[in-house]
Structure 1
Amino acid sequence: MREGCRILLLDDEPLILMDLEFAAEDQECNPLTATNVREAMAHIEAHEGVTCAVLDVTLRDGETCLPVARELERRAIPYLLHSGDLNRQEGTLAELNAQLIAKPACSRRVVETALALSSTPAG
């Protein structure tokens, strides 16, 4: 594992989340997986030193990643948005001035891009 590398992965689709988790492990990072805002916020609180994050914009039950993104910004943790809902989330996307990778996308590329946003050197 990369020393201290922790990547938060927020997605409500189990297969996508699993692919991202495997891609993070392939990059020698510790993946912190979440399917909703509550789980993601719990990871942020419990794991000091989250390196970066990949956030799905639209989650189940009308949730969006906005509260998680704001908390990451407050803590100066880089993140990118990973969404297949681009036409329905224009307001949220505009509000979050973050890099976007549209779904479907190669999980390895998504994780590598998120890691590149972090200034943490590979250990």
Structure 2
Amino acid sequence: MSANCRILLLDDEPLILMDLEFAAEDQECQPLTATNVREAMEHIEAQGGVSCAVLDVTLRDGETCVPVARELERRSIPYLLHSGDLNRQEGTLAALNARLIPKPACSRRVVETALSLATAPLDAAKSH
């Protein structure tokens, strides 16, 4: 992956976030980490933006990734969902209609999948 690749990693679990961060660095991609919606939105708004994203569905304090996912969709930025909360999040997952990798999962595989969405033709990325 090119050095100008910037991947947004949104997860409220520090160890998972750290593993994803290391996996992104291993792919020579700049990780932009966030633990809540506000931090994630700041990365999206920042100069340089993001190439793709990995979003945890359920965050602390009742937050979900939905506002971030909607903003990414508005900007045509590919993302995938990475959640261990599948039973409680069925409605949210259906509403987002995005690629899902259930937790636990290999961080390298999660990051590689997100990066493949960023490099895939737009119509192919939507079919996942």
TM-score normalised by the chain length of structure 2: 0.91
Measured against aligned partners, the alpha-carbon deviations of 1:55-97 in whole angstroms (never above 9, x if no partner) come to 0000000000000000000000000000000000011000001
2:61 matched to 1:61? yes
Residues in 2 aligned to 1:79 and 1:19: alpha-carbon distance in whole angstroms:
18
Mapping 1:79-94, distance limit 5 Å: 79-94=79-94
SS in 1 for 2:32: strand
SS in 1 for 2:53: strand
After TM superposition, the structure 1 stretch with the greater mean CA deviation from structure 2, 100-109 or 2-11, is: 2-11
**Aligned twin of 2:5:** 5
Gaps of 5+ in 1: none
Percent of residue pairs identical = 86
Measured against aligned partners, the alpha-carbon deviations of 1:10-64 in whole angstroms (never above 9, x if no partner) come to 0000000000000000000000000000000000001434110000000000000
SS in 1 for 2:58: coil
Gaps of 5+ in 2: 121-128
The answer to which structure, 1 or 2, has the higher relative contact order (CA under 8 A, 6+ apart) is: 1
Paired positions, count: 120
Flag the 1:10–1:47 CA change in 2: closer, same or farther, 3 A.
farther
Residues in 1 aligned to 2:48 and 2:109: alpha-carbon distance in whole angstroms:
25
Letter in 2 for 1:111: V
Mapping 1:1-123, distance limit 5 Å: 2-119=2-119
Residues in 2 aligned to 1:47 and 1:31: alpha-carbon distance in whole angstroms:
14
Measured against aligned partners, the alpha-carbon deviations of 1:86-123 in whole angstroms (never above 9, x if no partner) come to 00001100000100000000000000000000127xxx
SS in 1 for 2:76: coil
SS in 2 for 1:86: coil
C-alpha contact (below 8 Å) 1:9/1:55 kept by paired residues: yes
C-alpha contact (below 8 Å) 2:11/2:17 kept by paired residues: yes
